[in-house]
């Protein structure tokens, strides 16, 4: 295993930023998100879990799917430009598993989502293992771990040796190998530290038990306080719903440009489920919130073979009215007896 000093890691990142698009946790006025950096100096090193997940780089909040340019010389349909080769640095193991959850819909079942596939192809993920589970974390409840390697190309683990911070690099995929070709450091054996886990977390019940609890009055009560905003889904690394609309991009004499846009959408919001004619089969915040949990723990596992939750706990922290997905998991466990 390669072991790097902090200085070596920073030098390597500076080198990567020079040759590729490097994306890492950055502090935007007190909120942590993944942003393009020009070098290791821009990275917000001291983070537990970012406020926004790195899915923004694989499944952008807003994306042009195609552009139609209409002019005197004819009509052209233009595909969006190829995404540049990108390195996502500082990805937490839960977020990497979030990408795998999105893959289950966008890649693993035909037809694949070409737009997402291109981002995925162009991106190499360097993870940094969590030394512990933080306050709202519950990755172990949904099959993950603070040091999980799933979905990552390289995983770095922080070590303390002789009061020096070192990073042990596990190179996990071919993509990772390619990127690590110029990685500095010393090749040697190291024992990786075990992360500190949170004890006493509930057990996630299988989807059949969720199905049996669908009509419980509990779903009405937990949804009473739901504001029907979109915060939980937008911070979620595994939520992948979007809306598509054709919009005018620009209109000049002789040249009109239209764009087919897709942007994140959220099942908790009222217009999400509204259908032609104005009917809404999920008219209440309660019914929509229940859907959010059932999507994650029943529909998505049954239809796409992956849980729709990776236990990052962002929705717990973002929710203005403290709707707590871990409490919901615990309540279903209690109902199931």
Q: Which residues lie near other proteins (CB under 8 A)?
A: 28-31, 51-52, 61-62, 136, 221, 224-225, 227-231, 234-235, 243, 245, 247, 261, 263-264, 266, 269, 271, 285, 316-318, 320-324, 327
Q: Whose Cβ is closer to other proteins: residue 113's or residue 153's?
A: 113
Q: Whose Cβ is closer to other proteins: residue 98's or residue 285's?
A: 285
Q: Whose Cβ is closer to other proteins: residue 161's or residue 327's?
A: 327
Q: Whose Cβ is closer to other proteins: residue 104's or residue 329's?
A: 329
CA distance 308 to 106: 13
As beta bridge partners, residue 158 has 167
CB of residue 318 to other proteins, shortest distance in Å: 4
Could you give the C-alpha distances from 97 to 156, 162, 212, 224, 300, in angstroms and in order?
16, 33, 27, 31, 15
Q: Are 326 and 202 in contact (CB under 8 A)?
A: yes
Q: Whose Cβ is closer to other proteins: residue 15's or residue 324's?
A: 324
Give me 44's structure tokens.
């917000």
CB of residue 280 to other proteins, shortest distance in Å: 11
Q: Whose Cβ is closer to other proteins: residue 16's or residue 318's?
A: 318
Could you give the C-alpha distances from 121 to 75, 115, 143, 174, 206, in angstroms and in order?
30, 10, 25, 12, 33
Region of residue 151 (left: phi > 0; alpha: psi -120 to 50; beta: else): left
Closest C-alpha among 95, 101, 106, 103 to residue 128: 95
Q: Are 313 and 136 in contact (CB under 8 A)?
A: yes
CB of residue 43 to other proteins, shortest distance in Å: 19
Question: Whose structure tokens read 């049954």?
Answer: 302
CB of residue 186 to other proteins, shortest distance in Å: 41
CA distance 263 to 283: 22
Q: Whose Cβ is closer to other proteins: residue 60's or residue 193's?
A: 60
Could you give the C-alpha distances from 296 to 101, 227, 277, 324, in angstroms and in order?
10, 19, 29, 14
Closest C-alpha among 310, 255, 299 to residue 98: 310
CB of residue 172 to other proteins, shortest distance in Å: 31
CB of residue 68 to other proteins, shortest distance in Å: 16
CB of residue 237 to other proteins, shortest distance in Å: 14
Non-local (6+) Cβ contacts of 32 within 8 A are 25, 26, 44, 47, 50, 51, 52
Q: Whose Cβ is closer to other proteins: residue 40's or residue 331's?
A: 331
CB of residue 33 to other proteins, shortest distance in Å: 9
């Amino acid at each position: 295993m390669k072991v790097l000093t902090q200085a070596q890691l920073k030098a390597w990142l500076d080198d990567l930023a020079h040759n590729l698009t490097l994306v890492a946790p950055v502090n935007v006025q007190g909120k942590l998100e993944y942003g393009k950096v020009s070098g290791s100096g821009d990275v917000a090193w001291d983070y537990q879990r970012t406020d926004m997940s790195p899915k923004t780089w694989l499944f952008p909040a807003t994306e042009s799917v195609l552009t139609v340019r209409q002019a005197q010389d004819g009509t052209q349909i233009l595909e969006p430009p190829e995404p540049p080769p990108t390195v996502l640095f500082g990805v937490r193991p839960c977020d990497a598993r979030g990408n795998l959850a999105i893959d289950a819909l966008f890649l693993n079942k035909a037809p694949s989502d070409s737009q997402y596939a291109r981002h995925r192809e162009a991106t190499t993920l360097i993870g940094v293992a969590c030394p512990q589970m933080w306050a709202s974390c519950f990755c172990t409840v949904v099959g993950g771990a603070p040091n999980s390697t799933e979905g990552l190309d390289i995983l770095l683990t922080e070590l303390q040796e002789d009061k020096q911070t070192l990073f042990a690099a596990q190179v996990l995929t071919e993509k990772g190998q390619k990127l690590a070709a110029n990685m500095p450091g010393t090749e040697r054996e190291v024992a990786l530290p075990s992360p500190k886990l949170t004890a006493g977390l509930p057990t996630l019940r299988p989807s059949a038990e969720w199905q049996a609890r669908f009509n419980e009055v509990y779903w009405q009560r937990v949804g009473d306080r739901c504001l029907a905003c979109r915060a939980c889904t937008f911070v979620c690394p595994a939520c992948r719903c979007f809306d598509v609309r054709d919009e005018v991009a620009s209109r000049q004499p002789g040249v009109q440009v239209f764009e087919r846009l897709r942007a994140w959408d959220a099942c908790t919001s009222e217009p999400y489920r509204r259908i032609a004619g104005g009917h809404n089969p999920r008219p209440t915040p309660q019914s929509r919130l229940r859907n959010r949990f059932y999507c994650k723990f029943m529909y998505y596992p049954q239809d796409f073979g992956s849980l729709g939750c990776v236990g990052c706990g962002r929705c717990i922290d973002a929710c203005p009215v403290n709707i707590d997905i871990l409490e919901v998991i615990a309540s279903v466990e209690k109902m199931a007896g």
